[in-house]
Amino acid sequence: MMLVSLTVGKVDAGVAVLLTEDKRLIEFPSILLPPDISSGSIVDITVGRNLKAESDSAAAFHSLQSNIFRTFGQRTPSPPTLRNRNATQTSVVLEWDPIDTATAELRSLTLYRNGSKAGTIPKPTEVHSTKLSGLAVDTEYVFHLVLKTSAGTYSSDKLKVQTHKMTDLSGITITPGHMPSALRESLQVTVERIGAKIVDTVRIDTTHFVCTEGRGPAWEKAVENNIPVVVPDWIKGCEREGRIVGVRGYYLNADPRLRQIGAGASQSPSQQQQQQVRSPPMPSPRTEVTPPTPERPHRQRSNEEQRRTPPPVPPKHDDSEEEDEDEKSEVETPPEPKSQVEAEEQKVRTEDLKPAADSEDESEEEEEPSASNSKAVEAGLPIRGKPGQASVQDEEEDDGSFQEVKL
């Protein structure tokens, strides 16, 4: 115990200022001082240590620390464990163990793909799997989960997943629906033969729902989850082609003609037929043969056509060429005729030496018999035209000859 005498310096409503002998100031609660004191009053204060109170306070503090340690200090959140549940050509189904945050508060659970954020998992305490679609065929991906809590951030180990090739059918997981029992047994054998899997219920890793009748709770759940509903022939088609085939022609109510048959078939038969109709085949190379020009029939020109037809113009020749021809070849002069008939015949033969018309139309057309031709007819000689025109010939005039009639 210790007795201390202090002088009251100032008294306020709540706090009184006390002065020590060495001129130190102490603020003391006014409620603990006697009510009749004022400035200048001297008060005695007795000070002593309460050991029991100290012991009780230390025990309470240690008890609180122990309780906090047992509640929050012995267990910490666990990093998530990521696994590959199923992989196909273009999708991956990932799953993980239930999230253990111990006593910490869960903030978020995020999935990363190849180091980039792929998305946040909704309701991480209830959802333990996810499906990623639209991936590339035969490609390796790296996934990991990041768990954020009030006690810190925890990351899972990185998981490498390789998508399947088109010829790998092990990723197919089907759920059978309503179908005949014999067909179901055959489907079971085919699935085992190609290495696929069959599950009885519609799950997140179900890739196809196979049935022949669209009814039942399983079918409704498959439609709700956008799972392709196909007929058993789709499995047969995959086995036949040795690769996964498109489901367009194998939907429950699809036209069978839309199915792709053949390993290299990239178009349906109807599309190929439409393409053939739109693009006609290219003609094969061949040698073009020009058909012969048909001969025009002979006809006799009318008087009006004879009047309209201008007389033929003899071809122009160079004078030097004519002189050369005159020097090289001379036309023999026929002998004098002895009778009138011979004179007429001599006249006709002389006219043959004159040049014929150049135009084909003029050589084929004939004029009406003139007065001189009438005399030739009476004398029994061949009928001739005007000088410079072709005479009437027989039907066979390819060689340019004609028949003469002699008496």
Q: 158 and 102 in one domain?
A: yes
Phi, psi values for residue 370, rounded to 5°? -90, -175
The whole-angstrom separation of Cα 379 and Cα 404 is 12
- The range of the structural domain enclosing residue 197 comes to 173-263
Any domain includes 186? yes
**Which of 254, 170, 258, 246 has its CA nearest to residue 212?**
254
Cα dihedral 49, 50, 52, 57 in deg (nearest 10): -100
Please give the residue that has the higher pLDDT: either 81 or 343: 81
Q: Is residue 348 in some structural domain?
A: yes
Tokens of 253: 């109510």
For residue 45, the model assigns a pLDDT of: 85
Q: How far is CA 108 from the centre of its chain?
A: 37
Question: Residue 181 has which token pair?
Answer: 């029992």
Q: Are residues 155 and 219 in the same domain?
A: no
SS3 135: coil
Residues in the chain, overall count: 407
Q: How confident is the model at residue 347 (pLDDT cuts 50, 70, 90)?
A: low
Q: Is the pLDDT of residue 307 over 70?
A: no
Q: What would the mean pLDDT of 332-357 be, rounded to a whole number?
A: 53
Backbone φ and ψ of 226, nearest 5°: 60, 40
Mean pLDDT of 106-116: 95
List the CATH number of the domain containing 188: 3.40.50.10190
Asked if the structure places residue 352 within a domain, the reply is yes
Residue 274 falls inside a structural domain: no
Q: Are residues 193 and 118 in the same domain?
A: no
Q: What is the mean pLDDT of the chain?
A: 75
Structural domain contains residue 312: no
- Helix, strand, coil % in the chain, rounded to nearest 5: 30, 20, 50
- Is residue 125 packed enough to be buried (19+ CB in 10 Å), middle (13-18) or exposed (0-12)? exposed
Q: Is the pLDDT of residue 2 over 60?
A: yes
**CA–CA gap between residue 161 and residue 142 (Å, rounded):** 6
Domain boundary among 263, 287, 322: 263
Most confidently modeled range among 200-204, 271-275, 299-303, 342-346 = 200-204
Specify the higher pLDDT residue, 395 or 352. Answer: 352
Assess if residue 157 is contained within a domain. Answer: yes
**Residues 177 and 253 reside in one and the same domain:** yes
Q: What is the pLDDT of residue 387?
A: 44
- Work out the percent of the chain whose per-residue pLDDT is above 70: 63
Q: Are residues 232 and 202 in the same domain?
A: yes
Q: Is 161 helix (H, G, I), strand (E, B) or coil?
A: strand
Q: Are 101 and 151 in contact (CB under 8 A)?
A: yes
Last residue of a domain, which of 141, 162, 183?
A: 162
Report the number of distinct structural domains present in the chain: 4
pLDDT in tens, 237-254: 999 999 999 898 899 888
Bridge partners for 94 per DSSP: 84, 130
124 plus 199 within the same structural domain: no
Q: Are residues 158 and 178 in the same domain?
A: no
Encode pLDDT of 168-198 as tens digits.
999 999 999 999 999 999 999 999 999 999 9
Asked, for residue 286, whether it belongs to a domain, the answer is no
What pLDDT does residue 60 have?
95
Long-range contacts of 226-232 (CB under 8 A, 24+ apart): 227/175, 227/202, 229/177, 232/179, 232/183, 232/186, 232/187
The confidence score (pLDDT) of residue 116 equals: 95
Where residue 21 sits, what CATH number does that domain have? 2.30.30
pLDDT of residue 166: 93
Whole-angstrom Cα distance, residue 164 to residue 90? 8
- In-domain check, residue 37: yes
Last-in-domain residue among 122, 141, 162 = 162
The rounded distance, in Å, linking the Cα atoms of 297 and 387 is 23
Is 53 exposed, middle or buried, given 0-12, 13-18 or 19+ CB atoms closer than 10 A?
A: exposed
Q: Identify the CATH number of the domain in which residue 101 sits.
A: 2.60.40.10
Percent of the chain at pLDDT exceeding 90: 46
36 has pLDDT over 80: yes
Reported confidence tier of residue 351, pLDDT bands at 50, 70, 90 = low
Q: How confident is the model at residue 343 (pLDDT cuts 50, 70, 90)?
A: low
pLDDT at 96: 95
pLDDT in tens, 126-175: 999 999 999 999 999 999 999 999 989 999 999 999 999 999 999 999 99
pLDDT of 22 > 50? The answer is: yes
pLDDT of residue 267 exceeding 60: no
Residue 199: pLDDT above 70? yes
Which DSSP symbol is given to 256?
G
* pTM for the predicted model, two decimal places: 0.52
Same domain, 130 and 178: no
| 283-to-273, 276, 278, 287, 288 alpha-carbon distances in Å | 19, 14, 15, 12, 12
Same domain for 226 and 151?
no
Q: Taking 80 as the threshold, does the pLDDT of residue 290 lie above it?
A: no
- Residue 23: the pLDDT is 83
Residues 19, 90 within the same domain: no
Same domain, 185 and 246: yes
CA distances from 185 to 175, 176, 196, 242 (A): 14, 11, 15, 21
